[in-house]
Amino acid sequence: MAIPSSESSRQDNTLAVIRALRSQGPMARVDLGASNDISSATVTAITTELLGQALVSELPPGMHRDNGRGRPKTLIQLNPDAVFVVCVKLSINEVQIVVGDFVGQVRHSELHSLATLALTQEELCAFLVDKIEALSSQLRDTYSRFAGICLAVQGIVSPHNGTIIWSPALRFRNAPISSRLAAVFGCPVLLENDANCIARSLASQPEYAAYPHMVVIMLGYGIGMSVLIDGQPFIGANGSAAELGHSKYEPGGALCSCGRRGCIEAYVGDYALYREARTMLSLPAGDSAHPSEEQMQALTQLAMRGDPVARQIFGKAGRALGYGIANVMALFNPDLVLITGAGVRGYPAMRSEVEQAIDDALVEELIGLTRVATCPWDRDMTCLGGIAMTLHATDPATLSAPSSLLRLQD
């Protein structure tokens, strides 16, 4: 697990330069120095090194407006093709594999249908090795180095030993997948919860830069959450923190998919909404325990158009969600609670109840300056976040070593 610690000062500074270039785009040496508190002499040293490794290049002059006197700035940019990383998103019956370049852009994406719940650990491993190997032999021409893999999975994931402790997509438990991939490909493998990937992707957007303590709630079949503390996902002792979906709304309340009662998810999850609705409303046919996007759209439309029964269902969900958010506010005191996920489509129909519930639950002091906002849903955010996290964790020192070049032969 080559996550760069603060070993040498030079390492830190090199990393800081690369990250600044990634998040802020091409920059001149002076500005790199200023924004990272490094003398420009040091920046020169670092950039010469990076130019030598072809990790960055100088932007040809004249490309950018440089109004003002004095010697014009020479902008440095990351070389997109210097490095590639792979992010694998593992969901129920679906595996998405995405390739990202050194600047964090998605360069390739493929979707595989796969009966994940029927797989053994070996079969999953073999599948992933196969697909990633195929990709990398293809990409070998374009990119110089293969810097890492991110496995974004639903469920509980242990950060320490890189095992999938539990996932709704898999039959088996405590799978040391990440070390097995690391052994095959000889590169670091990040194992991440999918919600944390999404949150990291959102947090890197400039509009959320002012919120270091951000909570992202993902509405969907279940309820996911990621808590960013100073921009870092909070995972707890064993990776099972931030389980908002199974925190409680009412003791002994509605039955949850986990088998317990009164979980927030049992009121707000897609299946919970549909469960309430199907008995009272005429809705598209289908597996009502696992409503499809179309089914949910239909239900949402009803509520949006003012159907009283549908409105009441969403209102009740909103109340449960609001109480859940109130607990999150009381316990985490975030700057911002951001609501997203496929289920945001129905949020307008719950909004007033959510807000009312928060006000009912908490005194002003505990709501404090916390804002609640929504954000449109985009399926690709998971992999974007996974790519960002993998690149963020990439140690420039290992990139220079030839050992990180592709070596799938062994």
Partner DNA sequence: GACTTTATTTTAGCGCCTAAAGTAAAACGA
Partner DNA sequence: TCGTTTTACTTTAGGCGCTAAAATAAAGTC
Site residues for a second copy per CB under 8 A: 6, 9, 156, 165-166, 212-213, 227, 229, 234-244, 246-252, 258-262, 319, 323, 326-328, 330-335, 357, 360-363, 365-366, 368-370
Name the region of 37 (left: φ>0; alpha: ψ -120 to 50; beta: rest).
left
Can residue 6 be called a binding residue for DNA (CB under 7 A)? no
Residue 237, Cβ density class (10 Å: 0-12 exposed, 13-18 middle, ≥19 buried): exposed
How far are the Cα atoms of 6, 78, 269, 360, 382 from residue 50, in angstroms, in the given order? Answer: 19, 9, 48, 56, 29
Total Cβ atoms within 10 A of residue 205? 10
**Which one, 19 or 108, has the nearer CB to a second copy?**
19
Alpha-carbon gap, residue 200 to 217, rounded angstroms: 13
Which of a second copy, DNA, none has residue 35 at its interface (CB below 5 to 8 Å by kind)?
Answer: none
Among the listed residues 15, 18, 47, 219, the single contact to DNA using CB under 7 A: 47
β-bridge mates for residue 95, sequence order: 90, 112
Site residues for DNA, window 227-246 (CB under 7 A)? none
Residue 399 beta carbon to DNA: minimum distance, rounded to whole angstroms: 15
Nearest to 220 by CA among 292, 114, 309, 164: 292
Q: Which does 363 bind (CB under 5 to 8 A by kind): DNA, a second copy, none?
A: a second copy
19 contacts DNA (rule: CB under 7 A): no
Find out whether 38 and 47 touch, Cβ atoms under 8 Å.
Answer: no
State the binding partner of 65 from a second copy, DNA, none, CB within 5 to 8 A by kind: none
Question: Please, which residue, 185 or 249, has the CB nearer to a second copy?
Answer: 249
Q: Where in 83-203 does DSSP place strands (E)?
A: 83-91, 94-101, 106-113, 145-153, 156-158, 163-166, 189-193
Residue 327 makes contact with DNA by CB under 7 A: no
Cβ 187 to DNA, closest distance in Å? Answer: 23
Counting contacts by CB under 7 A, is residue 9 touching DNA? yes
**Total residues contacting DNA (rule CB under 7 A)?**
29
- DSSP label at 118? G
Task: Indicate the residue among 34 and 331 with the shorter CB distance to DNA.
Answer: 34
Window 55 to 94, contacts with DNA (CB under 7 A): 61, 68-74
By C-beta, is 41 or 229 nearer to a second copy?
229
- 3-class secondary structure per residue, 328-371: HHHHHCCCEEEEECHHHHHHHHCHHHHHHHHHHHCCHHHHCCCE
Instruction: Report CA Rg, the chain.
Output: 23
Quick check: 29 binds DNA (CB under 7 A)? yes
Return the DSSP state at 3.
Answer: -
- Is residue 21 within the footprint of DNA (CB under 7 A)? no
Per CB under 7 A, residues contacting DNA are: 8-13, 28-31, 37-42, 44-48, 61, 68-74
